Amino acid sequence: MSAITRDMNPITSPIWFPYSLMKQKSPILHCTSAKGVHITLENNQTLIDAMSSWWSTIHGYNHPILNQAANEQLNKVSHIMLGGFYTTASQKLADTLIQLTPKGLDKVFFSDSGSVGCEVAIKMALQYWYNLNKKNKTRLLTLEGGYHGDTIGCMALCDPNDGMHRAFGSQQRSKHLFLTPPKGGLNPKDSDLQKALSQAEHVIKSQHHSIAALMLEPIFQGASSMSFYSPVYLEKLCALAKHYNILVIFDEVATGFGRLGTRFAFDQCRITPDILVLGKGLSGGYLGLAATLASHAIFEAFLPEDKDPFMHGPTFCGNPLACNIAQASINLFESQHYLKKITKISKHLQEAFRNFKHPLVRSCRTHGAIAIIEVKEPETLKDAQAYALKQGIWLRPFSKFLYTTPAYIIKEQELQQITHTMKRYFKTLNTH
């Protein structure tokens, strides 16, 4: 790693870096530019990006078409408040999102990050019931192993057993209810599926009067547990919720725009949520942007004159620069047959990890454009990032997970370098 110069020491840097232990060993690299899947460092060394900057840069970096969309909008207006104004960019993107998603979702609320998009979803659901005079419906139902963002409201729905937000105690989350998804990943045994569903039914039947919404990441749980669960479970759980008058909120901040091999994760089941949250890849990873889509029924509950309006309005909501780039990103996704590209990536990842076994590895799973190696002890991954850097690959493992979520424009040969590096790391380890 000596080839990489001027790495930032997180203790002396003026920047407070995210999710970093200040005493950690891994360097903070100096990126000077990036193009496609290549990140260039100060000394002109390049790295192949295996992470898509936390699932966001789905077209890679510095894409000419997205750059053009940014430049065109810069020359018109880069920002104007959405309180009282709209732009063609914000209006077109709202239309596009409504068209792309199933019938029933017909209002778009814009914000500037996935966490805020999720907060907006939660507030909409709570006030919906308040406005309908169902004032007891104030709790949320969710799944263990979930992640919805780092703000206080979202944090309360993150996995209760994961220590991520330990410092904040259990006070916030104790209000909410957590279900255990069936074990067995995408294809659980029937008995495990039934067990999980009967737990869900028991909780819902006995508590539905106090539950405003079921909020979850459909099929794939990202930043907390990096795990897949059965679409059959999802479908039946949502049907139960709807039957008992509980709203359904899907957080597709990570899975939206192709990550699971379909445009949205919920395309793999037959449920339309009442509220849907999109973020990350929405702007192609160019700017912070999230969209919370809601059904007409939800919107209608805010219409009577004696009700409070929806009290939320981030300063940068509907930012025209972000919206215009997002529109270009979606056009690219649709016109360049991205789902086919993703199928190819998916097959490659499946092949690469199908027979991968190692004594320190608990399991290895792939679906869509995601591949995860889960180890038994986090300690096992302590040198994985440094090893990958030496091979010219940017990986950022966390907890027990070494994973890749590549940009969809990645070439076969580059993908191979990533998967080889992930597997080869384990050959460097002493298993005794």
Ligand X SMILES: *Cc1c(COP(=O)(O)O)cnc(C)c1O
Can you give the binding site for ligand X, defined by CB under 6 A? 113-115, 118, 147-149, 217, 222-223, 251, 253-254, 279-280
397 close to 380: Cβ distance less than 8 angstroms: no
> What residue number has its CB nearest to ligand X?
114
Whether residue 259 contacts residue 51, with contact meaning beta carbons closer than 8 Å, is answered with no
The two three-digit tokens of residue 322, written as one number: 């972000």
Q: Is 286 a catalytic residue?
A: no
Quote the longest CA-to-CA distance of the chain. Answer: 71
Contacts of 376-383 with C-beta under 8 Å, sequence gap 24+, read: 376/400, 380/429, 383/425, 383/428
| 244 is annotated as an active-site residue | no
Tell me how far, at minimum, the Cβ of 221 lies from ligand X, in Å: 8
The answer to whether 141 and 246 have CB atoms below 8 angstroms apart is yes
**Cβ(246)–Cβ(213) under 8 Å?**
yes
Catalytic residue, candidates 49, 112, 137, 147: 147
Please identify, using beta-carbon distances, which residue of 224 and 327 lies nearer to ligand X.
Answer: 224
Of 251, 338, 400, 425, the active-site residue reads 251
With respect to ligand X, which residue has the nearer C-beta, 158 or 352? Answer: 158
The span from the CA of 204 to the CA of 213, in Å, is 11
- Smallest gap from residue 115 Cβ to ligand X (A): 3
The answer to whether 147 is a known catalytic residue is yes
CB of 420 to ligand X, least distance (A): 27
Give me the catalytic one of 280, 400, 408, 425. 280
288 vs 380, beta carbon nearer ligand X: 288
Catalytic residue (one of 19, 86, 376, 411): 19
CA angle 331, 333, 336 (to 5 degrees): 95
Q: Is 233 a catalytic residue?
A: no
Nearer to ligand X, 59 or 348 (CB): 59
Q: Measured from the CB of residue 392, what is the shortest distance to ligand X in angstroms? A: 27
122 or 237: CB nearest ligand X = 122
Comparing CB distances to ligand X, the nearer of 160 and 392 is 160
End-to-end CA distance of the chain: 26
User: At closest approach, how far in Å is the CB of 222 from ligand X?
Assistant: 4
With b meaning 16 or more CB within 10 Å and e meaning fewer, what string describes 72-89? ebeeeeeeeebeeeebeb
Which one-letter DSSP state was computed for residue 57?
Answer: -
CB of 154 to ligand X, least distance (A): 7
Report the 10 Å Cβ neighbour count for 150: 16
Residues known to be catalytic: 19, 147, 251, 280
